[in-house]
């Protein structure tokens, strides 16, 4: 299938990154969100990222303008009628996602593929909100999108082989590495990563060591580029909690029980870097 125009629903950190890499690879992109200021903020982030590339001599000013020229701002979901592929990058919440997919199913052309950037939610359940489950797929990008190479591609129960192949090919044109994953809670990335982060939070909660010491052990001892508590702040503690709850509910196993300290911080509004405070304080 020939994909020329891609719509990204959600202009936050992930959505703007996805829109950027799609535009950089020559696709026409519609960047959509519910409010104009959200779209503007997303476009601002893309502009900043590309300007940095120009400063480093990795692209010319003309190339930057060309890329920005391929992105159209949108606050109307009906713009999906022009897209061959829609990538949803809204908040990690099943109710929100199924509502968006049900609307997209009504609006998008018959041939259009609907993909979700969910980091943990079942694709089969999202697909069930549509009348085209065979054209629904998971496309889980890593954060920050312009830098990270991996894209987990998740087949739902009904996803067609042709749809999977199209998404795998597109992922390669974005200069990313596609990895096929089956539809289980948390897929591979978050099923392995989140319990490690949760265990690091338990280690802090139980007073085994300070947050700095825990992060230092994982950086120096396990060669991680960032400690698990700093990483949790970067991801967002609300997102970490939601993924742990999804794993706990999906598997019914207490090894996925979110640490009480994680719940406490989220209730306090200490969500990490985005709110200026999580396990660490950010100016």
Does the annotation place 20 within a ligand binding site?
no
User: Would you call 119 a catalytic residue per the annotation?
Assistant: yes
Query: Catalytic: which of 190, 198, 245, 248?
Result: 190
Does the annotation place 16 within a ligand binding site?
no
Query: Catalytic: which of 152, 175, 224, 249?
Result: 152
- How many of the other CB atoms lie within 10 Å of CB of 187? 23
User: Would you call 190 a catalytic residue per the annotation?
Assistant: yes
**Whose CA is closest to 240, among 196, 182, 281, 282?**
196
Does the annotation place 189 within a ligand binding site?
no
Angle at CA 159, nearest 5°, toward 188 and 242? 40
Does the annotation place 15 within a ligand binding site?
yes
Q: Tell me the C-alpha distance between 74 and 31, whole Å.
A: 6
**Whose CA is closest to 112, among 180, 178, 167?**
167
107 Cα distance to chain centroid: 23
Residue 251, phi then psi, degrees to nearest 5: -105, -15
Query: Catalytic: which of 32, 49, 119, 198?
Result: 119
Does the annotation place 13 within a ligand binding site?
yes
Does the annotation place 61 within a ligand binding site?
no
Q: Tell me the C-alpha distance between 236 and 145, whole Å.
A: 16
Does the annotation place 172 within a ligand binding site?
no
Helix, coil or strand: residue 204: helix
Peptide linkage before 272 cis (omega within 30 of 0): no
Does the annotation place 14 within a ligand binding site?
yes
User: Would you call 212 a catalytic residue per the annotation?
Assistant: no
Does the annotation place 109 within a ligand binding site?
no
Query: Catalytic: which of 88, 116, 120, 140?
Result: 140
Does the annotation place 212 within a ligand binding site?
no
Strand locations in the chain (E): 5-9, 28-32, 71-74, 85-88, 113-116, 136-141, 150-155, 177-181
**Whose CA is closest to 137, among 190, 186, 88, 175?**
88
Q: Which residues are catalytic?
A: 119, 140, 152, 190
Annotated binding site for NAD(+): 10-15, 33, 92, 97, 119, 143, 274
Annotated binding site: 10-15, 33, 92, 97, 119, 143, 274
């Amino acid at each position: 299938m020939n994909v020329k125009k891609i719509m990204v629903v959600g202009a936050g950190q992930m959505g703007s990154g996805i829109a950027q890499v799609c535009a950089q690879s020559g696709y026409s992109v519609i960047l959509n969100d519910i409010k104009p200021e959200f779209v503007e903020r997303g476009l601002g982030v893309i502009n900043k990222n590309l300007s940095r590339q120009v400063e480093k001599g990795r692209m010319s000013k003309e190339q930057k303008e060309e890329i920005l020229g391929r992105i159209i701002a949108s606050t109307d979901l009906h713009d999906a009628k022009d897209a061959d592929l829609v990538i949803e990058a809204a908040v990690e919440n099943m109710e929100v996602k199924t509502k968006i997919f049900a609307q997209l199913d009504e609006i998008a052309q018959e041939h259009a593929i609907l993909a979700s950037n969910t980091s943990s939610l079942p694709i089969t359940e999202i697909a069930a909100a549509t009348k085209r489950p065979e054209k629904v797929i998971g496309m889980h990008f890593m954060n920050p999108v312009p830098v990270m190479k991996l894209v987990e591609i998740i087949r739902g129960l009904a996803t067609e082989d042709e749809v999977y192949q199209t998404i795998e090919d597109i992922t390669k044109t974005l200069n990313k590495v596609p990895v096929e994953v089956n539809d289980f809670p948390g897929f591979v990335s978050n099923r392995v990563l989140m319990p490690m982060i949760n265990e690091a939070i338990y280690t802090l909660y139980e007073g085994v060591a300070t947050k700095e010491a825990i992060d230092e052990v994982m950086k120096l001892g396990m060669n991680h580029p960032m400690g698990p508590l700093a990483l949790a702040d970067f991801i967002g503690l609300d997102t970490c909690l939601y993924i742990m709850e999804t794993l706990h509910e999906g598997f019914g196993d207490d090894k996925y029980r979110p640490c009480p300290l994680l719940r406490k911080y989220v209730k306090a509004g200490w969500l990490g870097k985005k709110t200026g405070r999580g396990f660490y304080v950010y100016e």
